[in-house]
């Protein structure tokens, strides 16, 4: 037995069966209702981490990461970052913070209530990792805040601004999942296994081109922790599928649901970063999505687990189809609300148009006319918020604003509107869970722009157009 294994086994030994209170009072079965497994002791953490190892590894990482960021700023790196990229980061960092902070709390619940002792121990380390990530994102915003406007009130904007509401909704939804295994599927499988490669590997490769070395460094050190989280998700999913056939239906539903929510709330908006906010570009978002999500995540996961009956995510084809337009449609929409944003927008230049023409064959036909009209002098500003989807809270503008796939359902005598078949399907399965949200579009009905800005805590010259562009 290696020393690591011995230390890990000690943690597994710490479980005991309570006798002064019923076991169900400490581990309420509602936390894993509908999931069947005979021997929870069989679940193992693939990394077999001990506290000693954890702090040793993490201290080394931090010793490398923080001085690099400080040096980047001290020697003028922040001032040399591309301004467009910086405007994109004003949206990205608050969203990422939201995700990490939600994950921190969600893993805390898994570590408290999961029925498998080793899974609880593994979730310990995940939860504290997420504290690291969330604070690293704050370090970035703290640094950037000293150089430019648009980072100083992000904690309030995530409460009140329509641009950050989808992220708030997504991660609150994971935090509030009743079944800890839904949290594991949503976080460890969909967020971490599927999307962190796209976010923390794909995006920094473009960030470096735009002189954001500190941001790239931060994303990559974050991703180095995610590898452990992915393995825990994969191990859990396989263990449950192997353990009992009855688990398949629930796991498949969670895979279908969280795949769509992640696609819609992370994948679609993220497309604006490499395709628009990156002046110097690398892979277009559509290709990144194909590489990281379709080829790596879906193909890898399904190949691994098809023997247990797991199928590709229900709305995979819709997601793939949408990636042709999603980022472009959202960028256009945000441009129309540039006077209600905390970051600045801009008109794509010739270099952008060349890139779009090369990688998105339908771009000119579907989006070109909009920008032609802007160049001709139409600011395209809109006075009130667009209709927001009841489930994802994003504007109902997909795949393209001229012909959106708007859906509606009646529930409890009220009509609810959705941006897609995916969101409508999710609502149909869990209407009580998703009917609570009152979108900002409804809250701010009848308000003028000044009132909307005030509600969203936008003061001074925030928003508008980036002058140099």
Tell which positions 142-171 bind other proteins, by CB under 8 A.
Answer: 142, 145-149, 151-156, 158-159, 165, 168-169
44 binds other proteins (CB under 8 A): no
For the CA atoms of 226, 228, 233, 235, what is the dihedral angle to 10 degrees?
160
CA separation for the pair 145, 204 (Å, rounded) = 20
421 binds other proteins (CB under 8 A): no
- Find the binding residues for other proteins in span 270-289 (CB under 8 A): 279
Q: Which is nearer to other proteins, 250 or 366 (CB)?
A: 250
Planar angle of CA 114, 118, 122, nearest 5 degrees = 85
The token pair at 267 is 């994948």
Phi, psi (rounded to 5 degrees) for 232? -65, -40
384 binds other proteins (CB under 8 A): no
CA separation for the pair 288, 273 (Å, rounded) = 12
Q: Which of 2, 19, 414, 415 binds other proteins (CB under 8 A)?
A: 19
Phi, psi (rounded to 5 degrees) for 465? -110, 140
Radius of gyration of the chain (CA): 23
**Is the Cβ–Cβ distance between 165 and 441 less than 8 Å?**
no
Least Å distance, CB 362 to other proteins, is: 29
Cβ partners under 8 Å of residue 162, min gap 6: 337, 340, 385, 388, 393, 440, 441, 456
Cβ atoms within 10 Å of 108's Cβ, excluding its own? 18
From the list 80-88, 282-290, 322-330, 404-412, the region that binds other proteins by CB under 8 A is 80-88
Q: Which is nearer to other proteins, 286 or 390 (CB)?
A: 390
CA separation for the pair 111, 126 (Å, rounded) = 9
Give which of 82, 195, 196, 203 is closest to 133, Cα–Cα.
196
From the list 131-139, 212-220, 228-236, 240-248, the region that binds other proteins by CB under 8 A is 131-139
Q: Which is nearer to other proteins, 26 or 306 (CB)?
A: 26
Q: Which is nearer to other proteins, 120 or 367 (CB)?
A: 120
412 binds other proteins (CB under 8 A): no
Residue 409, SS3?
A: strand
Q: Which of 93, 101, 219, 276 binds other proteins (CB under 8 A)?
A: 101
CA separation for the pair 345, 337 (Å, rounded) = 9
From the list 123-131, 299-307, 356-364, 406-414, the region that binds other proteins by CB under 8 A is 123-131
Q: Which of 242, 384, 435, 449 binds other proteins (CB under 8 A)?
A: 435
255 binds other proteins (CB under 8 A): no
432 binds other proteins (CB under 8 A): yes
From the list 250-258, 330-338, 402-410, 430-438, the region that binds other proteins by CB under 8 A is 430-438
Least Å distance, CB 387 to other proteins, is: 16
176 binds other proteins (CB under 8 A): yes
Planar angle of CA 167, 168, 174, nearest 5 degrees = 90
Least Å distance, CB 271 to other proteins, is: 22
Alpha helices, DSSP H, located in 391-430:
421-429
Cβ partners under 8 Å of residue 287, min gap 6: 359
Least Å distance, CB 55 to other proteins, is: 4
429 binds other proteins (CB under 8 A): no
81 binds other proteins (CB under 8 A): yes
Least Å distance, CB 269 to other proteins, is: 17
Enumerate the β-bridge partners of residue 414. 411
78 binds other proteins (CB under 8 A): yes
User: Which helix (H) or strand (E) is 414 found in, with range?
Assistant: strand 414-418
Q: Which is nearer to other proteins, 368 or 431 (CB)?
A: 431
Least Å distance, CB 133 to other proteins, is: 9
Least Å distance, CB 285 to other proteins, is: 22
434 binds other proteins (CB under 8 A): yes
Phi, psi (rounded to 5 degrees) for 271? -55, -25
139 binds other proteins (CB under 8 A): yes
From the list 47-55, 235-243, 396-404, 409-417, the region that binds other proteins by CB under 8 A is 47-55
339 binds other proteins (CB under 8 A): no
Q: Which residue has the tokens 């452990």?
A: 228
72 binds other proteins (CB under 8 A): no
291 binds other proteins (CB under 8 A): no
52 binds other proteins (CB under 8 A): yes
Q: Which is nearer to other proteins, 342 or 356 (CB)?
A: 342
CA separation for the pair 260, 389 (Å, rounded) = 14
79 binds other proteins (CB under 8 A): yes
Contact pattern from residue 389 through residue 408 relative to other proteins, giving x for each residue in contact according to CB under 8 A and a dash for the rest: ----x---------------
**Helices 117-145 + 51-74 axis angle, to 10:** 10
CA separation for the pair 325, 402 (Å, rounded) = 12
- The alpha carbon of residue 302 and the mean position of all alpha carbons in its chain are separated, in whole angstroms, by 22
Least Å distance, CB 27 to other proteins, is: 9
Residue 14, Cβ density class (10 Å: 0-12 exposed, 13-18 middle, ≥19 buried): exposed
């Amino acid at each position: 037995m290696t020393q690591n294994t011995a230390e890990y086994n000690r943690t597994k030994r710490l479980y005991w069966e309570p006798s002064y209170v019923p076991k169900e009072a400490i581990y309420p079965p509602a936390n894993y209702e509908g999931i069947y497994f005979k021997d929870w002791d069989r679940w193992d953490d693939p990394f077999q981490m001990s506290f000693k190892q954890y702090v040793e590894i993490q201290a080394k990482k931090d010793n490398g990461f923080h001085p690099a960021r400080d040096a980047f700023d001290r020697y003028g790196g922040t001032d040399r970052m591309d301004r467009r990229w910086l405007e994109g980061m004003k949206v990205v960092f608050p969203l990422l913070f939201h995700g990490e902070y939600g994950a921190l709390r969600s893993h805390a619940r898994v570590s408290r209530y999961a029925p498998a002792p080793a899974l609880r121990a593994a979730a310990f380390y995940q939860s504290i990792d997420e504290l690291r990530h969330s604070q690293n994102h704050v370090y970035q915003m703290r640094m950037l805040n000293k150089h430019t406007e648009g980072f100083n009130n992000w904690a309030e904007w995530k409460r009140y601004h329509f641009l950050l509401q989808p992220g708030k909704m997504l991660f609150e939804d994971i935090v509030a999942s009743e079944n800890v295994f839904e949290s594991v599927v949503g976080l460890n499988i969909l967020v971490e296994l599927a999307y962190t490669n796209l976010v923390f590997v794909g995006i920094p490769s473009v960030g470096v081109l735009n002189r954001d070395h500190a941001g790239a460094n931060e994303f990559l050190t974050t991703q180095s922790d995610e590898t452990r989280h992915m393995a825990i998700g994969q191990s859990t999913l396989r263990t449950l599928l192997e353990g009992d056939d009855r688990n398949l239906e629930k796991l498949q539903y969670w895979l279908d649901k969280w795949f769509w929510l992640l696609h819609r709330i992370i994948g679609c908006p993220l497309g604006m970063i490499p395709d628009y906010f990156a002046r110097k570009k690398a892979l277009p978002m559509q290709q990144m999505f194909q590489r990281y999500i379709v080829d790596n995540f879906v193909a890898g996961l399904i190949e691994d687990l098809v023997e247990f009956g797991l199928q590709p995510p229900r709305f995979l084809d819709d997601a793939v189809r949408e990636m042709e337009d999603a980022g472009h449609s959202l960028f256009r929409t945000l441009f129309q609300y540039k006077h209600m944003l905390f970051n600045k927008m801009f008109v794509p230049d010739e270099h952008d148009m060349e890139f779009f023409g090369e990688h998105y064959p339908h771009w000119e036909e579907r989006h070109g006319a909009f920008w032609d009209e802007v160049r001709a002098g139409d600011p395209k500003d809109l006075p009130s918020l667009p209709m927001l989807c009841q489930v994802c809270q994003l504007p109902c503008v997909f795949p393209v604003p001229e012909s959106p796939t708007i859906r509606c359902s009646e529930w409890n005598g009220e009509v609810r509107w959705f941006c897609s078949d995916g969101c409508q399907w999710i609502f149909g399965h869990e209407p009580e869970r998703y009917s609570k949200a009152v979108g900002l579009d409804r809250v701010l009905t009848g308000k003028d722009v000044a009132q909307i800005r005030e509600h969203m805590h936008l003061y001074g010259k925030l928003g508008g157009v980036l002058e140099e562009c």
